[in-house]
Amino acid sequence: MRTQVGIVGAGPAGLLLSHLLHLRGIDSVVLESRARDQIESTIRAGVLEQGTMDLLTDAGVGARMKAEGALHHGFELAFEGKRRRIDLTGLTGHSITVYAQHEVIKDLVAARVADGGKLRFGVSQTSIHDIETDKPSIRYHHEGEAYELQCDFVIGCDGSQGVSRASIPPALRRDFERVYPFGWFGILCEGPPSSDELIYARHERGFALVSTRSPNVQRMYFQCDPKDSVENWSDDRIWAELHARVDSHDGQKIIDGKIFQKNIVGMRSFVSNTMQHGRLFLAGDAAHIVPPTGAKGMNLAVADVRVLTEALNAFYVENRTDLLDGYSATALKRIWRAEHFSYWMTSMMHRIDGASPFDQQLQVAELEYVTTSRAAATAMAENYVGVAGAQAQA
């Protein structure tokens, strides 16, 4: 089997790259270890920056996002019993859309199927070969048969535990990581939204986030011990904790609902500064992870794909390699900006074990400054909607 671009992983990065390449007449094959229904039903958060929204729309896969996503022009910061709003649109001219990642995946899969795209779900024993030559290949098993996919380039979009990054010799990689000593306890519940916009809450008991999935389904999180168990948390205990952290002194309260999903996620930051080796290029979670506080994960993946698409198009149309050669350097400018923003948001909003009362008051002082200084609020808003990251990438 032969193609121009072999893509490992059918997450947002791999699927979007395949779709964008198709629009430019470049052939690709996407290989995914999970089944289609698995990737379309695994519920994950999704806050889309303005640039991501625009790219999906321009690529013809944004109709459902516009119809069903929640367009937000700001968000609220809750601390010391009060809430203050960051006016994203007023400060930057841009907005964000809350639209879950699995919904983006559904839209992209549907587009690739409609266009006759080559998607292989449920593959196993995937391995990448000959990336230091101009004829790399991907070997895999599918429905009991062994295959070899020959291609010009291999793009690894298979996440942090995939085979792609591991195919780059460890001695040649420069990896950076920070593991946080806390996690997020997440719930999905039935009920109306507690707020028209996202609420980020800093409380002495720990961080909390109030989000929405639909008019009838809400998503909420609160900081917890990553080694805790969901069995230790009854519904009543969960709601008591969320009310304590988010409700304000003026009577604004979150709305309880029937909880139908609970999970705990760990938090870490990771960057592989080596995003390419030979004919192998990494994109999305295969190259970088951010804590979800800054809402950057999927947006960084989309930004990687945007750069790769232009670089591959330049190779096939103009026989240029300069954009491919500079892929890592170009992408990393935006990645490190987003990593810093996510770290800053995480550090400012979470309870840090061992922090002194002095340190805790510094968090409050910083939140006071961010929510009362137009300059500071603008810097936060630019990073949140992706303007600052786009400038760094340029």
From the list 12, 19, 22, 72, the catalytic residue is 72
**Tokens at 280, concatenated:** 């192998």
Please report the beta strands in the chain, taking only residues with DSSP state E, as ranges in sequence order: 5-8, 28-32, 47-48, 70-72, 74-79, 82-87, 96-98, 118-121, 124-129, 137-142, 145-150, 153-156, 175-190, 199-202, 208-214, 217-224, 258-272, 276-277, 280-282, 288-289
Q: For residue 319, is it within any domain?
A: yes
Query: If you write DSSP's letter for every residue of 308-335 in order, what string do you get?
Result: HHHHHHHHHHH---HHHHTHHHHHHHHH
* Confidence category of residue 388, pLDDT binned at 50, 70, 90: confident
Q: For residue 372, is it within any domain?
A: no
User: Per-residue pLDDT averaged across 43-56, rounded?
Assistant: 91
Q: For residue 21, is it within any domain?
A: yes
From the list 12, 136, 193, 292, the catalytic residue is 292
- Angstrom distance (rounded) from CA 77 to CA 31: 41
Q: Residue 111 is part of a domain; what is its CATH number?
A: 3.50.50.60
Q: Is 200 a catalytic residue?
A: yes
Distances (CA, A) of 186 to 69, 72, 262, 266, 313: 20, 21, 6, 11, 40
- Angstrom distance (rounded) from CA 104 to CA 113: 14
**Tokens at 1, concatenated:** 């089997």
13: nearest Cα among 266, 271, 288, 267: 288
Query: If you write DSSP's letter for every residue of 179-213 in order, what string do you get?
Result: EEEEEEEEEEEES--S-SS-EEEE-TT--EEEEEE
- Tally of structural domains, the chain: 1
Q: Is 72 a catalytic residue?
A: yes
From the list 99, 140, 180, 200, the catalytic residue is 200
From the list 19, 22, 288, 296, the catalytic residue is 296
Whole-prediction pTM value? 0.94
Q: For residue 31, is it within any domain?
A: yes
pLDDT above 80: residue 45: no
Q: For residue 233, is it within any domain?
A: no
Average pLDDT in the chain: 95
What pLDDT sits at residue 130?
Answer: 98
Per-residue pLDDT reduced to its tens digit, 303-362: 999 999 999 999 999 999 999 999 999 999 999 999 999 999 999 999 999 999 999 999
Q: Is 292 a catalytic residue?
A: yes
Q: Is 369 a catalytic residue?
A: no
What pLDDT sits at residue 144?
Answer: 93
Q: For residue 217, is it within any domain?
A: no
Distances (CA, A) of 233 to 180, 187, 239, 246, 390: 22, 11, 10, 18, 41
341: containing domain: 5-70+97-176+268-352+388-393
Q: For residue 199, is it within any domain?
A: no
Q: For residue 149, is it within any domain?
A: yes
Provide, rounded to the nearest whole percent, the portion of the chain with pLDDT above 70. 98
